[in-house]
Amino acid sequence: MAANVEIYTWSSCPYCIRAKALLDRKGVEYTEYCIDGDEAARAKMSQRAHGHRSLPQIFINDQHVGGCDDITALNAQGKLDPLLQAS
């Protein structure tokens, strides 16, 4: 079974677009929460992300993995695919 992937984004954020493109290239289905200007949603995201307020914030199976640089690094290290396959 595929992992549950969630990503908090802003529609015009280049890092959000880059992170989603990586997931798209891998054929990963994800739930996107576009929180443009929604401070209540950003506060909820920040709570889930241990205080991080930058975007994107990515969660795999409810585990916070970080932002665009973090997911790119995981991919480069060969650690992203195992996370995406875990259920």
Question: Which pLDDT band holds residue 86 (cuts at 50, 70, 90)?
Answer: low
Strands (E), the chain: 5-9, 31-34, 57-60, 63-66
pTM for the whole structure: 0.94
pLDDT given for residue 87 in this prediction: 60
The pLDDT tens digits of the residues spanning 22-50 come to: 999 999 999 999 999 999 999 999 999 99
pLDDT given for residue 66 in this prediction: 97
Average pLDDT, whole number, for the chain?
95
Domain ranges of the chain: 5-85
**Token output for 19:** 């992170």
Tell the CATH superfamily of the 5-85 domain: Glutaredoxin (3.40.30.10)
CA distance 83 to 54: 22
